[in-house]
């Protein structure tokens, strides 16, 4: 049998192999130690600031501090919008857990409406779980006390004190100041990063236009917490910057007088200081209570507002357009003088009917039998249509538009309210673009008395009237007079753009003003409104029809439904020799300017110049005038029924006279 072969060990080879393996292991250990050392170096040196910040964030929480919203005052320093302390319930969903578990129990302690629950569920689905979501705003003192007793039962639900907006005069300034409302998803994008702690934002009026200034800047409190996240104490603070206070040019007493002057009528009015452009009062009636919107309006309160045909939420001064009627005549007369087509003493014969050469159709004057020979002054104080029919045809629509645009029509006035419309200045271009029709001479005739395609706002009317009152300077109407950035800071004037001239001829403006002064004297269309006044006033009445009258029959607007009645207008200023107030009044369904709008303007003048308040309406003894929502009006943006066909002819085939509204 063959013996197995023995293999002898090579000690040198094994030793060399061991040394190689040991060297590789050592190198691996060294590399691991170097890597570990580099990792520690990276953590402790290179990323020290980052991890220190994270560590501090785990230890210290930043609690936002919402600043007090800027206050709003009237020109005499009386508060129109302020902040009052209140409580709300905030929920951090990561800490509170499933609402189905704790919400029914909470409802036994705090009453929650369906609107509040729906709003909460919408907000929590759109908000990260670590951020607080408001469940209920404006808890009563009893509710806050009850929750404080049972607070331990609801982890993640906090009772938070805050300042809420209050409008002490309710609907009196609804369309001027507007209101703040709860922040929604769209508002969060507007606010931008870092402002998510704000719960309210300006929605309308001055609250919206000056939102950035009124809001202020957030502050923070640094709160030290333990490992359970429980607050241990305050370790630092970045103070919040309160919002800017606004002092308006509006006078509270005059605002109240303007509402009382309307009584139960609906419409709008603006009063300005013609020397500066400051708005002294501005009302749109009917109105609404802005306090209802601050913390979310209930359905039972909102539904009546949006279904009311009088549209109390609609700001007629900024968004509403009406045909100006004869209130444009002083300005068109000025255009005739400045264009050189007329002199103050040039006369036109008014027979009661005007015809365009070559046409059979006629256009009425305000008096059936005419006014006889009429110069510029008489054309204003007796509101003679024929004078302006002929002047507009002689001027041509292009030059007519150029002058009326110079007086501020066809463009927003620039008042410090968001969303102001520019109205409609009739022109061939506008008609072609919007009606797909050519321009006819009859369109020019109708435009000369403020009818047809015209749309103006009361702000445009008062701006142009103020320019006549101050000698020819068109000034920007504005509401904010001064601002204050801090309670101890001084009030500083709000800068305004310079005015621009509408005429270089003071004598021309003087003649027009004489005609407007004669309007308020015996023989003038509004003389009855000026009886007994211890001061002189100047003005112009206007009546803008909503539907046309037919044939030669006179139409009593009081026989029509409210929404089809004529709109009554008046523009004017006082005292006539040194004006300190100019007004524009529009009464919807008011009938005639002389009998409805002019008396309202007289009450406004008396309140400002004499301190005489209009009589309180019966049944409104709550300290604030009642605003009665009644009747209706044509939809915003819809032109009134035109008194003539596009070719300038009458409304019926057998009608030989174009129906024109009474200019009284």
Question: Among all residues, which ones are annotated catalytic?
Answer: 326
Nearest-10 Cα torsion for 542, 546, 549, 553: -60
Residue with tokens 């605003």: 627
Furthest C-alpha separation in the chain? 160
Q: What are the angstrom distances between the C-alpha of 382 and each of 301, 379, 393, 525, 569?
A: 47, 6, 21, 6, 15
3-state SS track over 105-142: HHHCCCCCCHHHHHHHHHHHHCCCCCCEEEEEEEECHH
Q: How many CA atoms lie within 13 A of 407 on its CB side?
A: 28
Pick from 495, 499, 449, 443: nearest CA to 470:
499
* 32 C-beta neighbours (distance < 10 Å), count: 10
Q: Which of 202, 163, 165 lies closest to 291 in space, CA to CA? A: 165
Q: What's phi and psi for 377, nearest 5 deg?
A: -60, -45
Token pair, residue 376, equals 């510029």
Burial 90-114 (b: 16+ CB within 10 A, else e): bbbbeebeebeebbeebeeebeeee
* Token digits of residue 609: 């110049």
Query: Is 225:232 a contact under the CB 8 Å cutoff?
Result: yes
Q: Where are the alpha helices (DSSP H) in 470-548?
A: 506-519
Alpha carbon separation from 554 to 203, 289, 659 (Å, rounded): 46, 41, 9
**What does the H/E/C string look like for 136-169?**
EEEECHHHHHHHHHCHHHCCCEEEEEEEEEECCC
Q: CA 395 to CA 556: how far, in whole Å?
A: 33
**Residue 66 belongs to what H/E stretch?**
none
The C-alpha atoms of residue 664 and residue 660 are separated, in whole angstroms, by: 12
Distance CA 264, CA 280 (A): 22
Instruction: Tell me how far apart the alpha carbons of residues 153 and 145 are, in angstroms, rounded to a whole number.
Output: 14
DSSP sequence for 211-261: HHHHH-B-EEEEEEE-TT--EEEEEEEE--BPPPEEEES--HHHHHHHHHH
Contact at 8 Å (CB) between 379 and 388? yes
Cis amide linkage into residue 609, ω under 30° from 0: no
Between CA 64 and CA 237 the distance in angstroms is: 10
Cβ-in-10-Å burial (0-12, 13-18, 19+) of 600 comes to buried
């Amino acid at each position: 049998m063959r013996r197995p072969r023995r293999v002898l060990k090579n000690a040198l080879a094994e030793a060399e192999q061991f040394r190689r393996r040991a060297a590789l292991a050592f190198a691996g250990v060294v590399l691991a130690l170097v890597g570990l050392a580099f990792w520690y170096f990276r953590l402790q040196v290179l990323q020290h600031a980052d991890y220190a910040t994270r560590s501090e964030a785990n230890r210290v929480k930043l609690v936002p501090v919402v600043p007090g919203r800027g206050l709003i005052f009237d020109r005499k320093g009386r508060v129109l919008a302020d902040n009052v302390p209140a409580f709300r319930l905030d929920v951090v969903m990561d800490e509170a857990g499933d609402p189905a578990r704790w919400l029914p129990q909470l409802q036994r302690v705090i009453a929650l409406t369906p609107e509040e629950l729906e709003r909460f569920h919408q907000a929590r689905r759109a908000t990260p779980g670590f951020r607080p979501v408001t469940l209920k705003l404006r808890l009563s003192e009893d509710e806050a006390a009850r929750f404080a007793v049972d607070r331990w039962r609801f982890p993640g639900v906090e009772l938070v004190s805050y300042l809420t907006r209050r409008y002490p005069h309710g609907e009196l300034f609804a369309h001027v100041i507007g209101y703040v409302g709860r922040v929604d998803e769209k508002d969060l994008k507007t606010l931008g990063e870092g402002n998510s702690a704000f719960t309210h934002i300006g929605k309308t009026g001055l609250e919206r236009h000056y939102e950035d200034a009124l809001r202020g800047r957030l502050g923070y409190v640094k709160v030290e917490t333990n490992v359970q996240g429980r607050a241990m104490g305050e370790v630092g603070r970045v103070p919040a910057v309160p919002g800017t206070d606004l002092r308006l040019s509006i006078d509270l007493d005059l605002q109240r007088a303007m509402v009382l002057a309307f009584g139960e009528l609906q419409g709008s009015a603006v009063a300005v200081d013609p020397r500066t452009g400051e708005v002294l009062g501005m009302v749109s009636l009917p109105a609404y209570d802005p306090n209802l919107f601050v913390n979310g309006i209930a359905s039972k309160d909102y539904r009546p507002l949006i279904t009311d045909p009088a549209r109390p939420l609609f700001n007629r001064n900024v968004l509403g357009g009406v045909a100006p009627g004869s209130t444009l005549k002083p300005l068109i007369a000025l255009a005739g003088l400045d264009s050189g087509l007329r002199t103050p003493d040039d006369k036109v014969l008014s027979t009661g009917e005007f015809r365009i050469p070559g046409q059979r159709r006629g256009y009425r004057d305000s008096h059936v039998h005419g006014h006889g020979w009429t110069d510029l002054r008489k054309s204003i104080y007796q509101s003679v249509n024929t004078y302006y029919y002929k002047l507009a045809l002689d001027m041509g629509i292009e030059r007519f538009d150029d002058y009326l645009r110079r007086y501020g029509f066809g463009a927003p006035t620039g008042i410090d309210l968001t969303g102001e419309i520019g109205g409609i200045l009739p022109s061939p271009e506008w008609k072609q673009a919007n009606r797909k029709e050519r321009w006819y001479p009859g369109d020019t005739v109708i435009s000369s008395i403020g009818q047809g395609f015209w749309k103006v706002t009361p702000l445009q009317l008062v701006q142009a009237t103020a320019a006549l009152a101050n000698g020819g300077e068109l000034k920007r109407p504005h509401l904010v007079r001064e601002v204050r950035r801090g309670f101890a800071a001084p009030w500083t004037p709000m800068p305004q753009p310079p005015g621009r001239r509408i005429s270089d001829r003071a004598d021309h403006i003087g003649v027009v003003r004489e005609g407007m002064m004669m309007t308020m004297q015996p023989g003038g269309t509004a003389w009855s409104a000026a009886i007994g006044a211890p001061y002189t006033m100047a003005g112009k009445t206007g009546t803008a029809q909503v539907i046309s009258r037919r044939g030669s029959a006179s139409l009593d607007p009081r026989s029509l439904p409210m929404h089809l009645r004529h709109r009554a207008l008046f523009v004017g200023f006082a005292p006539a020799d040194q004006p300190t107030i100019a007004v524009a009044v529009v009464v919807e369904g008011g009938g005639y300017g002389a009998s409805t709008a002019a008396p309202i303007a007289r009450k406004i003048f008396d309140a400002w110049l004499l301190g005489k308040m209009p009589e309180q309406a019966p049944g409104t003894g709550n300290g604030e005038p009642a605003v009665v929502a009644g009747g209706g009006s044509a939809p915003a943006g819809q032109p009134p029924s035109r008194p003539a066909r596009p070719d300038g002819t009458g409304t019926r085939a057998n009608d030989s006279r174009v129906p024109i509204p009474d200019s009284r």
